[in-house]
Amino acid sequence: MFDINDYGVGVAYSSYAAIFALCMVIFRRKYNSLLDPLVYILLWASSIIAFLSVYIVKRGLSVYVAQFLLPMLVFLGLSYVLLKDLGRSRAKQSNVILFSSLDIWGAMTFLALLQLLSFSRFISFARTYDFLTWFAFRSISRADYSTLERLLGLGSGMLLIYFCFYAIIIRKRFEAYAWFLLLSFVLLDTVSGGRSSLVGIFLGAGAFLFFHRREVEPTLVRKVNMLAPIGAIASILLMILVTSVTGYDLSLADGAADVLNRLIANADGLHYYLTYHAEQSITSSPLEYFKSVFGIYFKYLTGENYKNVGWQLNELVKGQLDTVEGTNFILPLQAIVFGQGFGQLIAVAITIAFAKLRSITPSSTAQAPIAFYLVAISYMLVVDVEYFVYQVIAGVLVYLLLRIALRLLNFSVSVIRSACHGGRARTAGNV
């Protein structure tokens, strides 16, 4: 398994910090807060480059290491060129996003119900087992969820964050209700074994501040930036605590070591590929790339149970696996699987798509939720393109259900109001 101690902790984390600091300086005009998802992707990219750096120091440079490093440099360089500098002016958007109070309340309630539905199995689990066992729920019951439950839970989460922050920051309506929903689902996610509950909220908040940057007061962004380091520390401490409890016999020190390892474990797939000579067993071609991204969906049509690249890499380490388990399909792996020698083409394509998604602006209020959703998950194209596709399917599904639910809600309210007005009119006529 991946363990950064094999490469030298001191060198790994010092190079990690130096690379991240350099990226933050270079991209300082591209993000508008420390919670911006772009900051997260810079942190992620720094971990990949840091791993490759310590790998070169310990084991030397090879063709495959170079093929992993080049797409990261292409991504960072091209992103810098394509992403626009964020100006300091707060000129109003040409299309003002303005939801009615009814839409805000209805959206938060509908999305909260979908979230609650996605936690229904955990709620049943919690009624049977003791409190500490709750934290192991995800590892125990991972395979019990249906595809629909996963899609509804995944798609509703980020959209709920959007409407909650819209209510709190933009409209300043239903603020107590919005905070109640956010904190409730952070708590549910945590006690059911979610290590990154706070990270998800913070990334959602950062995406919201970026998406509505022309409407958000600069003083709020400054406050967020002041509190961001505290939030980062709280997130890490929560990860350590949940990891320790989930591991049963793990101490807090063990949990801390695991979390620190995870900071660079984003590169575990590269470690497996290089260490276990994956080039001998994993095919490289555009077709193989396509199958790794979409194979999970086409198996329902073809009947072929295709094992994606992450699954194949894990099998090189652990042997035959019967369930889906694997590393993320990160950009360097995408490049080498797409084709050794010309994999940088996919790195360029992914970077252009990332920049386009991050710059999406809705043409109407109705499009704002899905536009925000795509902006918020755009970084996943680089982190795990296969999971990005799954997120898009989930988001579009929930967005369409939300549109239907809000139309029905508005229609019902208009009918009730018409009936009430008609009743009052008849009463006035009789008088």
Helices (H), 31-100: 37-59, 63-82
For residues 293 and 36, is the Cβ–Cβ distance under 8 A? no
pLDDT band at 424 (very low <50, low <70, confident <90, very high): low
Q: What is the residue type of 369?
A: P
Dump the DSSP string for 69-82. Answer: HHHHHHHHHHHHHH
For residues 193 and 138, is the Cβ–Cβ distance under 8 A? yes
pLDDT band at 49 (very low <50, low <70, confident <90, very high): very high
pLDDT score of 179: 97
For residues 285 and 344, is the Cβ–Cβ distance under 8 A? no
Q: Does 402 score more than 90 pLDDT?
A: yes
Dump the DSSP string for 105-173. Answer: HHHHHHHHHHHHHHTHHHHHHHTTS-HHHHTTHHHHHGGGS-HHHHHHHHHHHHHHHHHHHIIIIII--
Overall average pLDDT of the 32-57 stretch = 94
Q: Which residues contact 134 (CB under 8 A, 6 or more apart)?
A: 122, 125, 126, 191, 192, 193
Q: Which two tokens stand for residue 40?
A: 């997260």
Percent of the chain with pLDDT over 70: 89
Q: Which two tokens stand for residue 184?
A: 């409730």
Would you call 194 helix, strand, or coil by DSSP?
coil
Would you call 32 helix, strand, or coil by DSSP?
coil
Q: Which residues contact 428 (CB under 8 A, 6 or more apart)?
A: none
Q: What is the pLDDT of residues 104-121, one digit of tens each?
A: 999 999 999 999 998 888
Overall average pLDDT of the 308-318 stretch = 84
More confident site: 264 or 47: 47
More confident site: 308 or 109: 109
pLDDT band at 431 (very low <50, low <70, confident <90, very high): very low
* Cα–Cα distance for residue pair 8/2, rounded to 1 Å: 13
pLDDT band at 400 (very low <50, low <70, confident <90, very high): very high
For residue 364, give the DSSP letter.
S
Q: Does 94 score more than 50 pLDDT?
A: no
* Cα–Cα distance for residue pair 16/50, rounded to 1 Å: 5
> C-alpha angle with apex 62: 58 to 68, nearest 5 degrees?
95
Q: Which two tokens stand for residue 66?
A: 């170079």
Q: Does 404 score more than 80 pLDDT?
A: yes
Dump the DSSP string for 365-408. Answer: GGGHHHHHHHHHHTTHHHH-HHHHHHHHHHHHHHHHHHHHHHHH
Q: Does 91 score more than 50 pLDDT?
A: no
pTM score of the predicted model: 0.91
- Mean pLDDT, the chain, rounded, equals 87
Percent of the chain with pLDDT over 90: 52
Q: What is the pLDDT of residues 208-249, one digit of tens each?
A: 999 999 899 999 999 999 999 999 899 888 888 887 777 555
pLDDT score of 322: 65
Q: What is the pLDDT of residues 156-206, one digit of tens each?
A: 999 999 999 999 999 999 999 999 999 999 999 998 888 888 999 999 999
Q: Does 270 score more than 60 pLDDT?
A: yes
More confident site: 160 or 87: 160
